Amino acid sequence: MPQRRTLVASAIVVLLLALLPLSGSRYAVDLATEVLIYALFALSLNVVIGFTGNISFGHAAYFAIGGYACAILLTTYDWPLAVSLPAAVVLAGLVAAAVGYFCVRLTQIYFAMLTLAFAMLVWGVAFKWKEVTGGDDGFTGIKLPAMLAHHVGYFYFTLAVVAAGVAALWVICHSAFGLTLVAVRENAVRAGFIGVDTRRMRWAAFTVAGTFGGLAGALFGMYHRGMYIENAFWTESANVLIMVLLGGIYSFVGPIFGAAALHLLQTFTNQYTPYWPTVLGLILLVIVLVLPDGLIGLAARFKAHRGARRGRT
Amino acid sequence: MTLTMFTLNAFYGLALAMNMFIIASGLNLIFGVLRVINFAHGMFYMFGAYITFTVAKSWGAPFFVGVLAAAAALGVIAFAIERLLLRHLYDKEHLMQLLFTFALVLLMSDAAKMIWGTDQYSVGYPPGLGGAVNLGFVALPQYQLFLCAVGPLIAVAMWLLVDRTRWGRVVRAATQDREMLSALGVNVPMVYAAVFTIGSALAGVGGALAAPRIALVPGMDATVINECFIIVIIGGLGNLWGSFLGALAFGFVVQFGTVLAPNWQDVLPYLLMLVVLLIRPWGLLGRPETN
């Protein structure tokens, strides 16, 4: 069970976010919606990276499957949202389970490359299956229920879904299952000795990650009223990977901060200069050479430093 | 498919394979010795091509001067990167090295935009290699023939260097036990720097030799780095002849894929890697991980 402090802090964050539309700024609301979606996406990827120690290089695949499936079910088949969204999420989870079954046989770079290969197949299908996905024109004109058509309505919907998703991931990661995953990450051989089926654990983690990645993708597609093949491309996988690493992989909330920091920084930088890659490159150099634990590690170090100073006086 | 078409496609596939092998062998060498997965390798390739364009086209120097300039420039850039930054990261997690090379990609892509802009460039075939050799039933372009000769030459040269020289023995020893080698009086950091320099210069050469074959555009690095990874993984990480084999498989699959299944060529290499990894998870000539 979460500590009281965690619960109170989360409630305050959700409440503050819920007050955001009162500012009347459409820009702020849209930006917050995007950040929320990316936060869930990054958090889902960290179930694989932070909790099993394997780098997935193809996480965009599940994002895209969730996004495309939800969009197609809503628009082409006219299913209600209450059915389309869960169906899309389940489909992303099923594909992740199927892909994960093969990927978890491998570790390290081989695992990363196999996830990438499967993700590029998903991209290939989105690209070539033009009648269903719209091919490289993208799938546009997604039909949304009237109450979500307005940007504020959609923001609240996103906030509710993301909050529920984050809570579910929190429970999963702090359950016996999550702790077992950490054991597998830290020492797979030992975990195996005490009777943990490490491969199965990593498979389950991969499936969980894909499922929630699909949820983030579905929210993304509806928000943009369209899905495009770029959303399945490996650059999208790399982007979310950087969010996770920027935030810090060894903390549950790290990826949320990473996603927020990266997305906000990118949005603001793009207003002033076309050289966003340079900015991001410099940020990465700083992470690598100075801050290997990401933003959360920086915060922890700052706290420790302050604590030490207070102790002295 | 007629015999003529088949021969021509097989030949183009071979030339593509050899060009890719030159690039991938550098990536493979760096991984094999330094255990660093260098995402910037594709960027080095792109710089190689662009530098060749500048030297051979803008300055009007002979094409092969451009190739040498590309190799030298990339060698210098790589040496500086290794000495100033990368060497601080060997003891850190793989993830950090990966992020570091990705940062290089971002910085260099903007640098390329600043230097060369976003226009599309082309480099013509060098004089004497622009024609074709007529075999009666098919005419083979000379430049592709040239690539088919250079690829195996580089493969053999690398094999001799790593397997048959004293320096090569040191390099192989460095992959086994860095500390022991250092205790024996070998300057290991310089071995690492040399390997990174040679590997990166190969990317430069690969890019320079690709320049007459392709259009030079921003983003050309991204496709190539993925393809290099595919080749190296298919062959078995760190294995020179594995990369050669991987490049051959890649070249033929892409070339025949383009003809037989048009528009699927972007996905086919990944499919190839998928199949290989599912059947032989350690690559064609690789060995299982030991842990």
- Tally of helices (H runs) and strands (E runs) in chain B: 11, 2
Which region among A115-119, A230-234, A297-301, B238-242 has the lowest average model confidence (pLDDT)?
A297-301
Model confidence pLDDT, tens digit, residues A171-225: 999 999 999 998 888 888 888 898 888 899 999 999 999 999 999 999 999 999 9
Structural tokens at position B162: 């790593």
The CA distances from residue B143 to A227, B129, B251, in Å, are 42, 5, 16
Q: Does residue B256 lie in a domain region?
A: no
Continuous segment of H or E residues that includes residue A77:
none
What DSSP letter does each residue of A167-187 carry, written as one string? HHHHHHHHSHHHHHHHHHHH-
Residues 6-45, chain B: which have Cβ within 8 Å of A? 37
Distance CA A197, CA A194 (A): 9
Cβ neighbours of residue A308 closer than 8 Å, sequence gap 6 or more: none
Coil, helix or strand at residue A106: coil
Best of A57, A187, A230, A288 to mutate (most B CBs within 10 Å, chain B):
A288
Distance CA B237, CA B228 (A): 11
CB contacts of A117 in chain B (<8 Å) are: 230, 270-271, 273-274, 277
Whether B266 and chain A come into contact, CB under 8 Å, resolves to yes
Structural tokens at position B143: 């430049």
Model confidence pLDDT, tens digit, residues B28-78: 999 988 888 898 999 999 999 999 999 998 999 999 999 999 999 999 999
- Residue A311 has a pLDDT of 55
- Contact status, residue A249 vs residue A298, Cβ threshold 8 Å: no
- Residue B291 has a pLDDT of 43
The CA distances from residue A9 to A6, A214, A280, A303, B110, in Å, are 5, 27, 30, 18, 41
Model confidence pLDDT, tens digit, residues B123-163: 989 988 888 888 888 889 999 999 999 999 999 999 999 99
Whether A97 and chain B come into contact, CB under 8 Å, resolves to no
- Residue A297 has a pLDDT of 72
**Residue-averaged pLDDT of chain A:** 89
Contact B102 A242 (CB under 8 A): yes
- Contact status, residue A6 vs residue A128, Cβ threshold 8 Å: no
The CA distances from residue B242 to B238, B245, B268, in Å, are 8, 5, 19
Contact B274 A127 (CB under 8 A): no
- Residue B114 has a pLDDT of 93
Domain that holds residue B213: 10-219
- Contact status, residue B51 vs residue B204, Cβ threshold 8 Å: yes
Q: Shortest CB distance from A106 goes to which of B88, B106, B277?
A: B277
> Scanning every residue of chain B, which has its alpha carbon at the shortest distance from the alpha carbon of A115?
B274
Mean pLDDT for B248-262 is: 92
CATH architecture of A20-312: Orthogonal Bundle (1.10)
Cβ neighbours of residue A98 closer than 8 Å, sequence gap 6 or more: none
CA atoms within 13 A on the CB side of A130: 4
Contact A281 B100 (CB under 8 A): no
**Sign, Cα dihedral of A257, A263, A267, A270:** positive
Mean pLDDT for B88-105 is: 85
- Residue A237, pLDDT above cutoff 50: yes
Mean pLDDT for B248-275 is: 89
Mean pLDDT for A27-34 is: 94
Domain count, chain B: 1
The whole-angstrom distance between A277's CA and the closest CA on chain B is 5
Distance CA A55, CA A110 (A): 10
Domain spans of chain A, in order of start: 20-312
- Residue B238, pLDDT above cutoff 90: no
